[in-house]
Structure 1
Amino acid sequence: MKSEEADIPYYQQLKKVFINHIKNGKLSYGDKIPSERELADIYQVSRMTARHAVMMLEREGFVERRVGAGTFITNERIRWNTVTVNSFTKGMQDKGRAPSTKTLIMEEREADAQTAKQLKVSEGERLFYLKRLRKVDNIPLAIEVSQIPYRYCPQIEHYMEDNVSLYHVLHQYFDIQLIRQKQYMKISLASQSESTLLGVPDLSPCISIEGQAFAESGQPIEVSQTLARGDLVEFYSEPSNP
């Protein structure tokens, strides 16, 4: 491999070659890539350079190693807009994806001190608690928890079921429209139970998001926690047109 930019290490150049092949469709999910020895021969680099490039691709979620089988291209990353207040279902459908949602827990709970402060309600107030597993194209993507003061949406459990948008139900049946959100992101390791739900190895790196969603009046309506797969999700910001 000949370097066009002498300051860029060969392993990074090789990694970039594979990422470009994935983005332009030359490589697709499930394709097997050459072995490290073959990569070294094809691109005229050392085996150590080839190994380093593959390790970086694996660490960033572009490939996965399968014992006894080789290294394969992983799932295409799914883009998730963090700015627009929109339902998960509609957002993914707009991208041509097939979203689905499975309800894990739906019940009433009492607000703890932190949640009460975020929602500007009294500690111990009844909340609607909803925990769901989000999938895209039948692939587990994220675990999502929503908590809303029950007085804003009494009997909401009668309208909620799998594959129904929470935001749509709030708007249609309770005249609540969420127009703004605040989110905090960090890297978190999935627990054993979370890993099982997401279909990833234990302690896999995930993106943890804590958020609040607000009505037009400025009143916080929802507190949410999302744990998204780090190997699949690509968050981005794209404000809607004024």
Structure 2
Amino acid sequence: MLDTNSLKPLYIQLEAEIRQALREKKYLPGDRLPSEEELCEQYQVSRITVRKAIQQLTDQHILEKHRGKGTFVSTPSRIVDLKEQSGFTNYLSAIGHKSHHLLLKKELQPSDDFLCETLSLQPNEPVCYVQRLIFEDDSPLALDEIYISSLTYPDFLDRITGDISFYELLDNYYNVSRGESVCEIAVRIANAEQASILHCQAGDPLFLLQKTCFAVDGTPIHYSRSLVRGDRISYTIRTQNSNTQFISNINN
């Protein structure tokens, strides 16, 4: 219980109690905290005290509020090195987390001018399109779209499932020797549909990661576009003075 005789304000005491509960793993990342009413009853304090304590922890990104759902323990942001080409599945596995994919759509589409230029395709050449939701453990992390030639990679749509990573499929079934990738990162604001899919709030920041991957001989392999939750991922870029080139596109 909180000490009403202490000079320390009750909301600070309650904040410390919640921090201790997190250290003791009574609440894990992604868990929902008791409601304001339940916390008031548990600690015998006013709703104002509870709200101030929760707000303090929210401002420090320890907790996060989901409108209409409650207050949840924040999931720590992951740092991804853009130099690595292993994909989310192998990256999350390497840091001790599970990853799986939920296939939302897969179909053949005619290539437009952009895809023809990006992937060196003929006009209207069919491409495989895959849209999938990538999870870290049980929490949505990214909405991923992949475009790849159906002629160069036959049966791709039949082979891609929620149980196999995209790069494992390329390596194991198509024996592709991957070379460099070109990545472009921008920031977007989640709309209502994207927020619903990614379990975030409309208006939250998302990374838009657009990547073209090439084989060692310079042939384009695929183009992908990913919307990644900005509160869950940070990207690092390694540079070398001798051969690093920065290209800045200014959006007017």
Shared fold by TM > 0.5?
yes
Q: CA RMSD in A?
A: 3.5
| CA distance in structure 1 between the partners assigned to 2:170 and 2:229 by the alignment | 27
Aligned to 1:128: 128
What is the Cα deviation at residue 150 of structure 1? Answer: 1.1
What is the Cα deviation at residue 227 of structure 1? Answer: 0.1
Q: Deviations over 1:79-121 (max 9, x none)?
A: 3232111132112111111101111111111111111111122
Aligned to 2:232: 232
| CA distance in structure 1 between the partners assigned to 2:95 and 2:189 by the alignment | 28
| CA distance in structure 2 between the partners assigned to 1:206 and 1:222 by the alignment | 22
Aligned to 1:7: none
Aligned to 2:82: 82
What is the Cα deviation at residue 54 of structure 1? Answer: 6.2
What is the Cα deviation at residue 130 of structure 1? Answer: 0.9
Residue 144 of structure 1 aligns to a residue in which SS? strand
Q: Which stretch of the first structure deviates more once superposed, 185-194 or 70-79?
A: 70-79
Aligned to 1:115: 115
Residue 152 of structure 1 aligns to a residue in which SS? coil
Compute the TM-score of the two structures, normalised by the length of structure 1.
Answer: 0.72
| CA distance in structure 2 between the partners assigned to 1:107 and 1:181 by the alignment | 24
- Listed as ranges, the gaps of 5+ residues in structure 1 are 1-17, 39-46
What is the Cα deviation at residue 65 of structure 1? Answer: 3.5
Aligned to 2:204: 204
Total equivalences in the alignment = 208
Using CA pairs under 8 Å that are at least 6 residues apart, name the structure with larger relative contact order, 1 or 2. 1
- Listed as ranges, the gaps of 5+ residues in structure 2 are 1-15, 34-45, 240-252
Compute the TM-score of the two structures, normalised by the length of structure 2.
Answer: 0.69
| CA distance in structure 1 between the partners assigned to 2:113 and 2:201 by the alignment | 33
Runs of 4+ in 1 over 3 A off after TM superposition: 25-32, 50-57, 65-73
What is the Cα deviation at residue 236 of structure 1? Answer: 2.3
Q: Deviations over 1:43-67 (max 9, x none)?
A: xxxx9xx99976753xxx5432367
Aligned to 1:191: 191
Residue 231 of structure 1 aligns to a residue in which SS? coil
Residues 214 and 221, structure 1, Cα contact 8 Å, conserved in 2? yes
What is the Cα deviation at residue 149 of structure 1? Answer: 1.1
| CA distance in structure 2 between the partners assigned to 1:124 and 1:66 by the alignment | 43
| CA distance in structure 1 between the partners assigned to 2:56 and 2:217 by the alignment | 51
